Structure 1
Amino acid sequence: MEEDKEITKSVRLDEKDWFLQSLVRTVTGTDHRIGMTFLTGGLLVSGYVVSGHKYFEAIAKLYSSKEEVQQSIANLAEGYLPNESGEILAMQDLPAFIHLQDAKYYNTFGQPIPGKEGVWWRGTLLNINGYNFGVLGFPSRDDQVEQ
């Protein structure tokens, strides 16, 4: 009975997953992407984990017709690149967010939303309930990790 109390004391559901944080750090400052599927808020979200820089750079391009907005978002992307001393300012603390490229949500019937092309997705690590490696809908493991 005492052992059960010790186990429940050591598990904290309000902490971010250290392994998932390390995956975010792995792609930060690189062009690498890792295919993963997440359970968050009762939905499956599947796509490629990418760096924050790549995410904000892509979002800035979506607003290319509005130069002021584009520049503001592009400035956010710079925080995910190493500075002169090699530090990545956005990663001074442990990562709190995860960024997906080509993300799709899956409904209870297994249909992806949106149907054809994925979207850029940003979520908090704290709200991810579970995950697995691999993007839904791809037949080969070779498609899951890219460099």
Structure 2
Amino acid sequence: MSYQNVDPVLGVFANTIEELDYGIGVTLTTTGGVVTGQLVSGRAWAKAYTERIGLEPESPATEVLGHVFKGLQETLSPATNADTDAEEEQENSNYPSFIHLTEARYLSAGNLVPQGNDTVPWRGRLDQVVAWSVGRMGNS
């Protein structure tokens, strides 16, 4: 990740969200388009993603994905991330590599998709966000 491309205000904002496990509405312009939703911690995103998958109970796929996302929730928790050694921390920025949204929608041809109550968890590289604002877009 190129930390030179990260807006330092957004980097600190995302880092604070990770540490506090808090959420706030944002709109992001990325190199791939505009996305709006609730900025959350990686752990909250993994939980939302697990719920979104909604596979049939007791299926082999549910069991495998359950293990993957349970491990991901643990990996993304701030307590686990704090265990990195001091040299690695000095070499890397304090910003998270990825930014996470729940209740995400994409702006496409003047409309937010998906429409209605259907939303998706979204994860993107922090260094690919080119502009942002606090607050979510809504359909009028």
Same fold, TM-score > 0.5, yes or no: yes
- Aligned 8 A contact 1:29 1:80 in 2: no
* Cα distance in 1 between the residues matched to 2:19 and 2:28: 22
Q: What's the TM-score once normalised by structure 2's chain length? A: 0.74
Q: Where does 1:106-145 land on structure 2 (aligned, <5 Å)?
A: 106-109=107-110, 111-116=111-116, 117-137=118-138
Q: Do structure 1's residue 19 and structure 2's residue 9 form an aligned pair?
A: yes
* DSSP 3-state at the match of 1:132: strand
**Which of these two proteins has the greater Rg computed from alpha carbons?**
1
Cα RMSD (Å): 2.8
Shift of 1:36: 0.6
Displacement after TM superposition at 1:138 (Å): 8.2
Structure 2 letter corresponding to 1:103: A
**Identity rate, percent:** 27
SS at match of 1:105: strand
Inter-CA distance 70–44: structure 2 relative to 1 (3 Å threshold) = same
Other-structure match for 1:49: 39
8 Å CA contact retained: 1:29, 1:53: no
Unaligned runs of 5+ in 1: 1-11, 140-147
Unpaired segments of 5 or more residues in structure 2? Answer: none
| Over 3 Å off, 4+ runs | none
State the TM-score, normalized to the length of structure 1: 0.71
Q: Which has the higher helix share?
A: 2
Larger RCO of the pair (alpha carbons < 8 Å, separation 6+): 2
Q: Does structure 2 conserve the Cα–Cα contact (< 8 Å) formed by 1:80 and 1:88? A: no
The aligned residue for residue 64 of structure 2 is 68
SS in 1 for 2:109: coil
Q: Name the CA shift for 1:21/1:67 in 2 (closer, same or farther; >3 Å).
A: same
The CA distance in 2 between the partners of 1:45 and 1:103, in whole Å, is: 7
